[in-house]
Structure 1
Amino acid sequence: MLNRDLIISTALEVIDRDGLDTFSMPRLATSLGVRSPSLYYYFEDKQTLLAAVARAIVSKTRYPPMEDSDDWVEWFVCISTDFRRRVLEHPNAAPVLLRYMPRDLFVEMYERTAEFLSRAGIPEDGQMVIIDCLDRLSIGAALTEATRTPEERRRIFAGIDPGAMPRLAGVVRANERDSEQLFADAVRIFLRGAAARSRNGGKDTTR
């Protein structure tokens, strides 16, 4: 039987298979074996459906219990990397998140995050920097990665000419991390730096 969940999951399957540019309500209706008007009983228009698709992707992100974590940095790393994985499971649908990111899903988590950061000794002003910047870092990194081909995701800085760019080629050869591990380390570096700066009264401690 036709229902909202079936329509959303099938829409995501169609976008995964055929891409977002060719996605349409008639194409979706054909995949479901129904006529287009049947879809409008559940969704006002294509935009409303795409917003629901974005929500379905983001809602799969797993949040580890705060009570089980003694390391607030790694708690954030777990959330950020899992969000990245959920987006990369549906790279063709990633552009939907640019327009329909369901921010309301994060509001309750932001409240819990503020409590967690307070227990970690991070001042309130520093908490705002961490919450806002980590949000931007995670979303930006996931969407950027989604635009790359599977081959590009497997290789870091593909197509480097060692003769023309010897230093960068050396950096790439020395790297033993995959793209997810690099992202996780970037999150760690940001969080530790932001925490140190916040605890130092907002002063730059890197100089």
Structure 2
Amino acid sequence: MGRRPLITRDGAARAALEIVDEGGPAALSLERLAAALSVRAPSLYNHFADKAEILAEVARIIVLDTPRVPDPEPGRWQEWLVEETTLFRRSLLQHPRAVPLVVEHLPQPLLVRLYQQYSRLLAAHGVPERMHLFLLEAAHRMAIGSAISTANGRAALQSLDPGTGDGPPVAPDDEDERRFVEMVRTFLRGVDREI
């Protein structure tokens, strides 16, 4: 009967994510991660080359944990993209302190595979190929930018009119996502004129 390893790559990355969730990226050290896993720090090098590789795996997990939306019905690709983008933003905001890691350690190979899959879907719905990367990259950037703003305490504005207070009022948390969704829909309505 073989021994089961004390550390798995996924388990270590998820433990690292918990540390980042609690104290931010600066709180993560190999020693602290090893202690959370009840192992010694050098044993982490059996699974990761360095701390940067751990952070990259944390970013990858956040992207992988984003729920996927079923393929859209004919003529509904825009709502599908709105929902995909919103779920990605929600995934990021489940780990507000880790959002910068997703930007810094962007899981490029994973995103390329997702973009290829989504490009095939857009093609099947009659979206011109020249628009695929533009649409996917724009939606991706909107989700990340909005998540960074929200994670830093800068929710969507209620209006452009600053009113009579010291500054413009910000939307309550439950309004923030609704405003994000409307932003993506407005963008897609504009794009629809170009298709």
TM-score (norm 2): 0.83
Aligned counterparts of 2:187 and 2:157: Cα–Cα separation in 1: 21
What fraction of aligned residue pairs are identical, expressed as a percent? 35
Which residue of structure 1 lines up, in the alignment, with residue 95 of structure 2? 90
- Per-residue CA deviation, residues 99-152 of structure 1 (Å, 9 max, x unaligned), is 11112222233223223333433322233321222222222222222222xxx6
Q: Which amino acid aligns with 2:193?
A: A
* Map of 2:3 onto structure 1: none
Q: What's the offset of the Cα at 1:82?
A: 0.5
**Quick check: 1:129 aligned with 2:130?**
no
Structure 2 gap segments, 5+ residues each: 1-5
1:91/1:69 Cα in 2 relative to 1: closer, same or farther (>3 Å)?
Answer: farther
Does 2:22 correspond to 1:21?
no
Does 2:86 correspond to 1:81? Answer: yes
Task: Give a deviation string over 1:15-67, Cα, whole Å, max 9, x none.
Answer: 11122112111111122222111111111110010000000111011221215
Q: Which amino acid is 1:186 matched to?
A: M
2:175 and 2:33 map into 1 onto residues whose CA distance is 36
Question: Do the aligned residues in 2 keep the contact of 1:69 with 1:75 (CA within 8 Å)?
Answer: no
Cα distance, 1:17–1:193 mapped onto 2, change above 3 Å: same
- 2:39 corresponds in structure 1 to 34
Q: 2:164: which partner in 1?
A: 163
Q: How many angstroms apart in 1 are the aligned matches of 2:60 and 2:132?
A: 25
Residues 2 and 122 of structure 1: CA distance in aligned 2, closer, same or farther (over 3 Å): closer
Aligned length: 188
Indicate the SS of the match to 1:104: helix
Structure-to-structure mapping, 1:1-207, within 5 angstroms:
1-66=6-71, 68=73, 70-148=75-153, 153=155, 156=157, 162-163=163-164, 178-197=175-194, 199=195
Q: Relative to structure 1, is the Cα distance of residues 191 and 32 closer, same or farther in structure 2, using a 3 angstrom cutoff?
A: same
* 3-state SS of paired residue (1:63): coil
Q: What is the letter of the counterpart of residue 182 of structure 1?
A: R
Whole-Å separation in 2 of the counterparts to 1:117 and 1:26? 46
Normalised TM-score (structure 1) = 0.79
